[in-house]
C-alpha cells in the first residue's frame, strides 16, 4: 500500500480507533521492510473530533462539499459586481447552506455513535466557512484528511490549514558506501581522520534527527489525545449542564406544585376543623332535642292516660 491509501483509510476511521489502526499499518510496513513508509505512517497525526466530523462529511457527501467550494468561488467573483441587497441575499443563502451542512455532519456522527457538542459543531461550521472563503482551504477539506479544524478571519487568512501534503513515499536514499575495514576491524587507510570525524558527526546528527522525529510524533499523539480528551470532557460537561438545568427546572416545578398542594391541604384542614366544630354543636342541639322530645312524649302519655281515666269515671 502507498501512503495515500493508508492515509485515506486512517482518516476515515473514528478518532478512538485511529492510533491502533495506525500502529497496525506501521507494523505491516515494517514487516514488509519499507522503513520509509513505516516512518511516514507513524508521523500521521490523529485528527481532532471536529476534523474527523468534517472528513466524514466529505466522504459521505462529497458532491455537496464540492458545490460549497464552487459556490465560494462564484461568490468571490460575484462580489465585485453585485449590489448591496444582492450580496445580502447571497450571504443569507450562504449561512443557510453552512447551517444545513453542519446539521448533516452532526447527524452522520450521531449515526456512528458520536454525539457532537455545540462547541464541536461550531468548529465544523467554521471549517466549512473557511473552505468556502479560501480556495486552498477548500482543497484541504476535499482531501478528507483534515487533522484539525480551520477558521477564517474574514481578512483573507485561514488558520488551521493542514500543513501536511500526503504523497507516495519516495524510495529511501541509498546508504553511503562504507570504507573497507582491515582485518583488525579498523578503518582503511583511504579514510582520513577528518573523513571519519565527518562521518561520525553525520551519524550522530542522523541519530539525533531520528530521535527528534520520534519525540515529535509522540508529542503530536499526546497532543491529539489531550485535545480529544478535552473535547470529550467539554461535551460531557455540556451534557451534564443540560441535565442539571432540566432537573433544576423540574425541581422548581415540583416545588411550586408542593406549595400549591400545601395551601390546598391547609384550606382543607381549616374546612375540616370548621365542619368538626359545627358537627359538635349540632350533636349537642340534637341531644337537647332528643330530651325535649322524650319529655314531650312522656307528657303526652300522661295526658292521654288522664283523659282515659276521666272518661272511665263518667261512665
Gap between the Cα atoms of 48 and 56, Å rounded: 12
- Residue 236 forms part of a structural domain: yes
- Residue 99 forms part of a structural domain: yes
Sign of CA dihedral 66, 72, 78, 80: negative
What is the predicted pLDDT for the residue at 179? 44
- Residue 20 forms part of a structural domain: no
The percent of the chain in helix, strand and coil, each rounded to the nearest 5, is 75, 0, 25
**Nearest-CA neighbor of 143 among 158, 163, 159, 123?**
163
**Nearest-CA neighbor of 45 among 18, 26, 81?**
18
Are 210 and 267 contained in the same domain? yes
Gap between the Cα atoms of 229 and 300, Å rounded: 102
Q: For every one of its 315 residues, what pLDDT tens digit does the chain have, with 9 covering 90 and above? A: 789 999 999 999 999 999 999 999 999 999 999 999 999 999 999 999 999 999 999 999 999 999 899 888 877 777 766 666 777 777 788 888 899 999 999 999 999 999 999 999 999 999 999 999 899 999 999 999 999 999 887 655 555 555 433 433 333 333 444 444 444 344 444 568 888 888 888 777 766 755 665 565 455 555 555 555 555 556 555 665 766 676 666 666 666 766 776 676 677 778 878 888 888 899 899 888 889 889 999 999 999 998 888 888 877
Contacts of range 283-291, beta carbons closer than 8 Å, 24 or more positions apart: none
Q: What angle do CA 25, 30, 33 make, to 5 degrees?
A: 130
Domain residues for the domain of 155 are 47-165
Summarize pLDDT for 91-100 with one digit per residue, the tens. 788 888 899 9
Q: Which of 165, 180, 208 is the last residue of a domain?
A: 165
Are 206 and 263 contained in the same domain? yes
- Residue 180 forms part of a structural domain: no
What is the predicted pLDDT for the residue at 102? 95
Q: What pairs with residue 158 in β-bridges?
A: 152
State the total domains in the chain: 2
Are 131 and 235 contained in the same domain? no
- Residue 95 forms part of a structural domain: yes
- Residue 184 forms part of a structural domain: no
Are 153 and 230 contained in the same domain? no
- The pTM score is 0.51
- In this structure, what C-alpha cell is assigned to residue 179? 570504507
Amino acid at each position: 500500500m502507498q501512503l495515500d491509501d493508508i492515509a485515506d483509510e486512517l482518516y476515515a476511521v473514528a478518532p478512538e480507533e485511529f492510533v491502533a489502526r495506525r500502529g497496525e499499518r506501521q507494523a505491516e510496513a515494517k514487516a514488509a521492510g519499507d522503513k520509509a513508509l513505516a516512518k511516514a505512517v507513524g508521523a500521521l497525526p490523529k485528527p481532532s473530533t471536529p476534523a474527523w466530523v468534517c472528513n466524514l462529511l466529505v466522504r459521505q457527501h462529497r458532491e455537496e462539499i464540492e458545490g460549497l467550494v464552487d459556490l465560494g468561488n462564484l461568490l468571490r467573483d460575484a462580489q465585485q459586481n453585485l449590489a448591496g441587497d444582492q450580496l445580502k441575499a447571497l450571504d443569507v443563502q450562504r449561512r443557510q447552506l453552512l447551517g444545513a451542512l453542519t446539521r448533516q455532519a452532526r447527524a452522520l456522527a450521531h449515526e456512528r455513535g458520536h454525539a457532537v457538542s455545540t462547541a464541536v459543531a461550531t468548529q465544523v461550521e467554521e471549517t466549512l466557512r473557511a473552505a468556502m472563503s479560501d480556495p486552498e482551504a477548500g482543497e484541504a477539506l476535499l482531501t478528507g484528511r483534515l487533522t484539525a479544524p480551520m477558521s477564517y478571519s474574514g481578512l483573507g487568512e485561514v488558520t488551521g490549514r493542514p500543513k501536511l501534503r500526503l504523497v507516495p513515499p519516495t524510495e529511501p536514499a541509498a546508504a553511503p558506501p562504507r570504507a573497507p575495514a582491515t582485518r583488525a576491524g579498523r578503518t582503511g587507510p583511504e579514510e582520513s581522520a577528518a573523513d571519519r570525524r565527518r562521518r561520525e558527526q553525520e551519524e550522530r546528527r542522523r541519530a539525533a534527527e531520528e530521535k527528534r522525529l520520534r519525540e515529535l510524533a509522540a508529542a503530536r499523539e499526546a497532543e491529539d489525545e489531550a485535545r480529544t480528551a478535552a473535547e470529550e470532557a467539554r461535551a460531557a460537561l455540556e451534557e451534564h449542564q443540560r441535565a442539571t438545568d432540566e432537573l433544576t427546572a423540574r425541581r422548581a416545578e415540583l416545588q411550586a406544585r408542593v406549595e400549591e398542594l400545601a395551601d390546598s391541604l391547609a384550606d382543607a384542614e381549616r374546612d375540616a376543623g370548621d365542619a368538626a366544630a359545627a358537627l359538635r354543636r349540632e350533636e349537642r342541639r340534637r341531644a337537647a332535642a332528643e330530651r325535649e322530645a322524650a319529655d314531650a312524649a312522656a307528657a303526652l302519655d300522661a295526658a292521654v292516660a288522664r283523659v282515659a281515666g276521666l272518661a272511665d269515671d263518667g261512665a
